[in-house]
A and B are shown apart, each in its own frame.
Chain A
Amino acid sequence: GQNIDQPTEMTATEGAIVQINCTYQTSGFNGLFWYQQHAGEAPTFLSYNVLDGLEEKGRFSSFLSRSKGYSYLLLKELQMKDSASYLCAVPRVVGFKTIFGAGTRLFVKA
């Protein structure tokens, strides 16, 4: 089966750095996604990792360790608009099903 764990909520201060962790157990591996979802809106794609290491994209970076079944999303220079839910997601190796974690709600305070 597949299982994804991520913290329920996190709070951080504007301008700071925050790391959102995700651990997963899957039968087979076909990459890991991070999505951002603002309240009342649809999820939007942030990053995709299929190889070990850090992928940097502006203020956001995503890290993957396949051997540890672990990923994190790193947000730098936090802004108020970064307050959102961050969903870790793992697609099945075969077929079109993607399993979403429950999401981490990030609150950025002034």
Chain B
Amino acid sequence: DTEVTQTPKHLVMGMTNKKSLKCEQHMGHRAMYWYKQKAKKPPELMFVYSYEKLSINESVPSRFSPECPNSSLLNLHLHALQPEDSALYLCASSAGGTDSGNTIYFGEGSWLTVV
């Protein structure tokens, strides 16, 4: 079982809606991530938080807004999405540091459909 939990597992939203994806980890990891994955494609990095501070934003459109309330929680706020944003959104965490500290542990993902 994954130790990174995400909610909701499935979300259908209209293009004018505002919704949020939530993620939690209790492994004491210092880095948390949001990835987007389309069918038959590898995960694409969206955001990285390190010690609760945003350290990487991969030029993600502003309709996606990340938030890290504390070291265990990571949210992704969604607003005015487009149908092409429909994908599997994966939260992940890693211990940080060198070598195996880069191991990324993924949550089960949130399937998002924008209608």
Which A residues are closer than 8 A to B by beta carbons?
Answer: 30-31, 33, 35, 41-45, 48, 50, 87, 89, 91, 95-98, 100-103, 105
Q: Closest chain A residue to B103 by CB distance?
A: A45
Rounded to whole angstroms, the CA-CA distance of A41 and B99 in the bound complex is: 26
Q: Which of B50-67 contact A (CB under 8 A)?
A: 50, 55-56
Rounded to whole angstroms, the CA-CA distance of A103 and B107 in the bound complex is: 19
- Within 8 Å CB of A41, what residues of B? 108-109
Rounded to whole angstroms, the CA-CA distance of A35 and B106 in the bound complex is: 10
Nearest Cβ on chain A to B108's Cβ, whole angstroms:
5
Q: Which of B79-110 contact A (CB under 8 A)?
A: 88, 90, 94, 96, 98-100, 102-109
- Within 8 Å CB of B2, what residues of A? 42, 44
Nearest Cβ on chain A to B50's Cβ, whole angstroms:
6
| Residue from the list B94, B99, B109 in contact with A30, Cβ < 8 A | B99
Interface centre among B88, B104, B108 (most CB of A within 10 A): B104
- Within 8 Å CB of B42, what residues of A? 87, 100-103
Cβ-based interface call for B45 (8 A): yes
Q: Are A50 and B56 neighbours in the complex by a CB distance under 8 Å?
A: no
> Given that A96-B94, A101-B42, A102-B41 are known contacts, is A31 also in contact with B99, CB under 8 Å in the complex?
yes
Rounded to whole angstroms, the CA-CA distance of A95 and B31 in the bound complex is: 10
- Within 8 Å CB of A42, what residues of B? 2, 88, 90, 106-109
Q: Are B100 and A96 neighbours in the complex by a CB distance under 8 Å?
A: no
| Residue from the list B56, B88, B103, B108 in contact with A97, Cβ < 8 A | B56
- Within 8 Å CB of B33, what residues of A? 96
Rounded to whole angstroms, the CA-CA distance of A66 and B106 in the bound complex is: 26
| Residue from the list A96, A102, A103 in contact with B96, Cβ < 8 A | A96
Rounded to whole angstroms, the CA-CA distance of A41 and B40 in the bound complex is: 12
Q: Given contact pairs A96-B56, A103-B42, enumerate 6 new A-B contacts (beta carbons under 8 Å).
A: A33-B102, A50-B99, A87-B42, A96-B31, A96-B96, A102-B42
Rounded to whole angstroms, the CA-CA distance of A31 and B100 in the bound complex is: 8
Interface centre among A44, A50, A100 (most CB of B within 10 A): A100
